[in-house]
Chains A and B, each alone.
Chain A
């Protein structure tokens, strides 16, 4: 049996954590970074880049890079048109079907893209365990978190992503609930808690009651389409409006999407217009416009971060091929707050609804916990504090707390420890369409899961052997206003006079919040076959086929992995060399250390390595890393001896 981890699969960033000797810890890379950007990029030769590397490529190869894909999980093209407008990649799909994302000449579904991110996290965890000297370092199972307000299709898509990544998803748990588990470890052990979770793309509010180690969710609410991304977008639109008519021809106004041929003027560093790979002409400028939008996005995100601590900052864009004119604008926190206020206000109604569903008043809440990077925004904190009349908790890093909680849950599942138990709820009511397009509810929202419900059906015509059932999720009265989950086709009903069969359909929502259905004709006891056609999900066959595809691509992906490892190694050698050189320059001892020509040789190797790192040739990076290692060997020996001498002379190494 391999290892088990907890994964926070976020809109912007993802993390992996595990429980080490009873305490959850987040797994970091060499530089101490826990966040893996949820960005995937496809190299010119088909290799897949994930995380920081892919994020870098958002600027250099925007048309080959994908981010914020969580917004598309379990959704149809008609849901995401608005989002797709400002994103650099192609989003398509048939009405009423799964969204497809075009990257270079390949097409991916959102679960496939997410699977790349999950695989990266799996790899990160395995590296960590391997380095710790674990014999069995394979990670094969995980608890993965989703927004509490995710519907069945979105949860199923997440589970599919896990399958595609080679991880067994032990459990899908809700992000706010996971956070409460992490907090519950050393906080008070009873009380009523509100968890306010504003992440990159989603908002959740959950009200929990904690007693005797049982974390019981009383109610949950939210918006799966509201988060830090929207804040960024508002700011990007302002900058775009300012720039409109100036030289950023590729980046049209938000609603029109990046302009067509006009974008070619501002070609990105990718080498020529991005649409060259046989894209429709209208999308030809996407690459250029996308580079501009991405450049602007980075600048406004920096300004947003600044304004969490400062009263005033500047949105600053240096002139570049993407934004030739450059851009500069001062912005105060008050202005920022005025711009984003409508977004933050949108979180308050779900909070009130959740309170009301739990039968509570704001004053009944003992603790408020903040989760998600966007809760660093002072306005968010202020409004939450006002609503609950409580100073919210934020002792744990809001970016990491969900992954920590997922790790705790993973540990509970495999260890069988029973000190803690999470009882979550289903966020949306489950129903079926009845006569006149009206929805008949079978399992009400905020029901503790697992939950089940039953409904009786019969036939309308003599000897009818099949019945169709439309399953929906949502609170509205009409089927057209709810989320279509699936069409069930019950087959094999024994031929009888119309109205005589009594077909019992059982709906079961499991602890993951995912629905399964079974049916039986009660008179004959015959179990009915059910054909499920998911409205916005993949069929099992599709997932199987993708798994086969992913094996075919595994070789290319393996190459990408090696390239990333080579780059990381190169980076650490460069870093170490730079550090020594800087120290020698500072204390002026370089002259007595260097042999003739040594410094020049080192500089040459450094320059060479930095140059090839921008490319994708693993061999070249490997060779230059080797070269730099060679020419710095003498330097390493000398400085090592120096350090040892100084240490022996009673001098603290840290003072050197």
Chain B
């Protein structure tokens, strides 16, 4: 999950709290006195790690950057420093850890990009409800699947409650799951394709870039929805498994 980014506030320069000199916003250490800079205003996770705002990232390179910066910022190395520097080290390390976590995962990476490009959050409002139904606003492209799945889940639940053979129910669940899995795989491919498109649009017109971002956001919303569908199936599968061995008091 990506924490909401701090809104950009005139990110031009930063004042070093140790010597008072001005420093570019993406510098970590003061160019004048070389002390660690407080994390006042800053750009975004990409620029913090010295990366371009691109979605296809070399995992090894990202990790190396994370390790190198950890060695520069970590509070372990600021024990004998001034309180100002210690605070700066703590904040900078925290931000680095957040940045690394967000960029490491391709999905949270897209979420972060959307946020810093000014799009509304793609996080869903957790549409799965206690009733076991998947409700909430269904993305139009998933209407058909959601409708079929809810119907099937209702039937399985009824059968389970009337003591049907759990083995058969499991098989039905597997079958109900297949189209959802397929949808998910399709989305993964689309996300990858859109990510590559975004990376190639550095010099493109604003409208073109915006269209890609909108498409990415659309995919993320659908993806979250699909994940919730899968979670609902998992829950039902667990209930089926539970009904198969009602006497089991505890198991691993």
Q: Give A residues with C-beta under 8 Å from B.
A: 170-171, 211-212, 214, 216, 345, 348-349, 409, 412-414, 416, 418, 421-423, 441, 444, 447-454, 508, 510-511
**B79–A421 touching, CB < 8 Å:** no
**A451–B67 touching, CB < 8 Å:** no
**Complexed CA–CA distance, A511 and B91 (Å):** 11
Q: Identify which of B1, B3, B79, B93 contacts A450 (C-beta below 8 A).
A: B93
Apart from the given pairs A448-B101, A511-B74, 4 other A-B contacts in the complex at a CB distance below 8 Å: A216-B67, A418-B77, A421-B74, A453-B3
**A418–B93 touching, CB < 8 Å:** no
**B71–A447 touching, CB < 8 Å:** no
Question: What is the minimal beta-carbon distance from A6 to any residue of chain B, in angstroms?
Answer: 14
**B1–A444 touching, CB < 8 Å:** yes
What residues of chain B lie closer than 8 Å to A414, measured between beta carbons?
Answer: 79-80
Does B76 lie at the interface of the complex (its beta carbon under 8 Å from any beta carbon of A)? yes
What residues of chain B lie closer than 8 Å to A447, measured between beta carbons?
Answer: 97, 101
- Contact pattern, B 1-16, Cβ under 8 Å of A = 1, otherwise 0: 1011000000000000
**A170–B79 touching, CB < 8 Å:** yes
Total A-B residue contacts, Cβ distance less than 8 Å: 63
**A510–B90 touching, CB < 8 Å:** yes
Question: What is the minimal beta-carbon distance from B106 to any residue of chain A, in angstroms?
Answer: 13
What band does the interface of chain B fall in when counting residues whose beta carbon is under 8 Å from A?
20 to 34
Q: Identify which of A421, A450, A453 contacts B90 (C-beta below 8 A).
A: A450
Does B252 lie at the interface of the complex (its beta carbon under 8 Å from any beta carbon of A)? yes
What residues of chain B lie closer than 8 Å to A453, measured between beta carbons?
Answer: 3
Q: Identify which of A212, A449, A450 contacts B67 (C-beta below 8 A).
A: A212
What residues of chain A lie closer than 8 Å to B76, measured between beta carbons?
Answer: 171, 409, 412-413, 421-422, 511
Does B70 lie at the interface of the complex (its beta carbon under 8 Å from any beta carbon of A)? yes
Question: What is the minimal beta-carbon distance from A358 to any residue of chain B, in angstroms?
Answer: 13
**A349–B93 touching, CB < 8 Å:** no
Q: Can you list 10 A-B pairs with a CB-CB distance of less than 8 A?
A: A171-B76, A214-B70, A441-B1, A449-B97, A451-B97, A452-B95, A510-B75, A511-B74, A511-B75, A511-B90
Q: Identify which of B4, B63, B90, B100 contacts A508 (C-beta below 8 A).
A: B90
**B94–A450 touching, CB < 8 Å:** yes
Question: What is the minimal beta-carbon distance from B182 to any residue of chain A, in angstroms?
Answer: 23
Q: Give B residues with C-beta under 8 Å from A.
A: 1, 3-4, 63, 67, 70-71, 74-77, 79-80, 90-91, 93-95, 97-98, 100-101, 252
Give the residue name and chain of the B residue nearest to A417 (CB).
B77
Closest 3 CB pairs of A and B: A452-B94, A448-B97, A450-B94
What residues of chain A lie closer than 8 Å to B4, measured between beta carbons?
Answer: 454
- Given A170-B79, A421-B74, A448-B101, verify A454-B3 contact (CB < 8 Å): yes
**Complexed CA–CA distance, A453 and B94 (Å):** 9
Question: What is the minimal beta-carbon distance from B85 to any residue of chain A, in angstroms?
Answer: 13
Question: What is the minimal beta-carbon distance from A345 to any residue of chain B, in angstroms?
Answer: 7
**B67–A211 touching, CB < 8 Å:** yes
**Complexed CA–CA distance, A88 and B62 (Å):** 55
**Complexed CA–CA distance, A348 and B252 (Å):** 8
Q: Identify which of A416, A449, A451 contacts B77 (C-beta below 8 A).
A: A416
Question: What is the minimal beta-carbon distance from B224 to any residue of chain A, in angstroms?
Answer: 16
**Complexed CA–CA distance, A561 and B1 (Å):** 54
Question: What is the minimal beta-carbon distance from B128 to any residue of chain A, in angstroms?
Answer: 12
What residues of chain B lie closer than 8 Å to A508, measured between beta carbons?
Answer: 90, 94
**Complexed CA–CA distance, A348 and B74 (Å):** 33
Question: What is the minimal beta-carbon distance from A526 to any residue of chain B, in angstroms?
Answer: 18
- Given A212-B67, A416-B77, A444-B1, verify A451-B252 contact (CB < 8 Å): no
Question: What is the minimal beta-carbon distance from A400 to any residue of chain B, in angstroms?
Answer: 23
Q: Identify which of A413, A421, A441, A451 contacts B71 (C-beta below 8 A).
A: A421
What residues of chain B lie closer than 8 Å to A345, measured between beta carbons?
Answer: 252
**Complexed CA–CA distance, A441 and B3 (Å):** 11
**B252–A349 touching, CB < 8 Å:** yes
**Complexed CA–CA distance, A416 and B79 (Å):** 8
Give the residue name and chain of the A residue nearest to B63 (CB).
A211
What residues of chain B lie closer than 8 Å to A422, measured between beta carbons?
Answer: 76
What residues of chain B lie closer than 8 Å to A450, measured between beta carbons?
Answer: 75, 90, 93-94, 97
**Complexed CA–CA distance, A447 and B1 (Å):** 11
**Complexed CA–CA distance, A414 and B78 (Å):** 9
**B79–A413 touching, CB < 8 Å:** yes
Give the residue name and chain of the B residue nearest to A449 (CB).
B97
**Complexed CA–CA distance, A327 and B101 (Å):** 58
What residues of chain B lie closer than 8 Å to A171, measured between beta carbons?
Answer: 76
**Complexed CA–CA distance, A450 and B75 (Å):** 9
**Complexed CA–CA distance, A422 and B79 (Å):** 15
**Complexed CA–CA distance, A453 and B91 (Å):** 11
**B98–A214 touching, CB < 8 Å:** no
Q: Identify which of A170, A214, A348, A448 contacts B100 (C-beta below 8 A).
A: A448
What residues of chain B lie closer than 8 Å to A416, measured between beta carbons?
Answer: 77, 79-80
What residues of chain A lie closer than 8 Å to B91, measured between beta carbons?
Answer: 452
**Complexed CA–CA distance, A454 and B3 (Å):** 8
Question: What is the minimal beta-carbon distance from B46 to any residue of chain A, in angstroms?
Answer: 19
Question: What is the minimal beta-carbon distance from B82 to any residue of chain A, in angstroms?
Answer: 14
Give the residue name and chain of the A residue nearest to B250 (CB).
A342
Give the residue name and chain of the A residue nearest to B97 (CB).
A448
Give the residue name and chain of the A residue nearest to B101 (CB).
A447
Question: What is the minimal beta-carbon distance from A326 to any residue of chain B, in angstroms?
Answer: 37
**Complexed CA–CA distance, A451 and B75 (Å):** 12
- Given A413-B79, A416-B80, A510-B75, verify A451-B94 contact (CB < 8 Å): yes
What residues of chain A lie closer than 8 Å to B93, measured between beta carbons?
Answer: 450, 511
What residues of chain B lie closer than 8 Å to A412, measured between beta carbons?
Answer: 76
**Complexed CA–CA distance, A448 and B93 (Å):** 10
**Complexed CA–CA distance, A448 and B100 (Å):** 9
Give the residue name and chain of the A residue nearest to B7 (CB).
A522
What residues of chain B lie closer than 8 Å to A451, measured between beta carbons?
Answer: 94, 97-98
Interface centre among A414, A423, A454 (most CB of B within 10 A): A423
**Complexed CA–CA distance, A423 and B66 (Å):** 11
Interface centre among B76, B91, B93 (most CB of A within 10 A): B76
Question: What is the minimal beta-carbon distance from A383 to any residue of chain B, in angstroms?
Answer: 12
**Complexed CA–CA distance, A448 and B95 (Å):** 11
**B70–A421 touching, CB < 8 Å:** yes
What residues of chain B lie closer than 8 Å to A452, measured between beta carbons?
Answer: 3, 91, 94-95, 98
Give the residue name and chain of the B residue nearest to A510 (CB).
B90
Question: What is the minimal beta-carbon distance from B51 to any residue of chain A, in angstroms?
Answer: 18
**Complexed CA–CA distance, A421 and B80 (Å):** 17
Question: What is the minimal beta-carbon distance from B65 to any residue of chain A, in angstroms?
Answer: 12
What residues of chain B lie closer than 8 Å to A216, measured between beta carbons?
Answer: 67
What residues of chain B lie closer than 8 Å to A423, measured between beta carbons?
Answer: 70, 74
Interface centre among A345, A444, A453 (most CB of B within 10 A): A453
Give the residue name and chain of the A residue nearest to B4 (CB).
A454
What residues of chain A lie closer than 8 Å to B74, measured between beta carbons?
Answer: 421, 423, 511
Interface centre among B63, B74, B252 (most CB of A within 10 A): B74
Give the residue name and chain of the B residue nearest to A420 (CB).
B76
Question: What is the minimal beta-carbon distance from B77 to any residue of chain A, in angstroms?
Answer: 6
Q: Identify which of B3, B67, B80, B101 contacts A214 (C-beta below 8 A).
A: B67
**Complexed CA–CA distance, A342 and B90 (Å):** 42
What residues of chain B lie closer than 8 Å to A511, measured between beta carbons?
Answer: 74-76, 90, 93
What residues of chain A lie closer than 8 Å to B94, measured between beta carbons?
Answer: 450-452, 508
**Complexed CA–CA distance, A416 and B3 (Å):** 31
Give the residue name and chain of the A residue nearest to B78 (CB).
A416
Question: What is the minimal beta-carbon distance from A409 to any residue of chain B, in angstroms?
Answer: 8
Question: What is the minimal beta-carbon distance from A311 to any residue of chain B, in angstroms?
Answer: 28
What residues of chain B lie closer than 8 Å to A211, measured between beta carbons?
Answer: 63, 67
What residues of chain A lie closer than 8 Å to B67, measured between beta carbons?
Answer: 211-212, 214, 216
What residues of chain B lie closer than 8 Å to A444, measured between beta carbons?
Answer: 1
What residues of chain A lie closer than 8 Å to B71, measured between beta carbons?
Answer: 214, 418, 421
**Complexed CA–CA distance, A132 and B65 (Å):** 44
Give the residue name and chain of the B residue nearest to A171 (CB).
B76
**Complexed CA–CA distance, A369 and B44 (Å):** 39
**Complexed CA–CA distance, A639 and B76 (Å):** 55
What residues of chain B lie closer than 8 Å to A421, measured between beta carbons?
Answer: 70-71, 74, 76
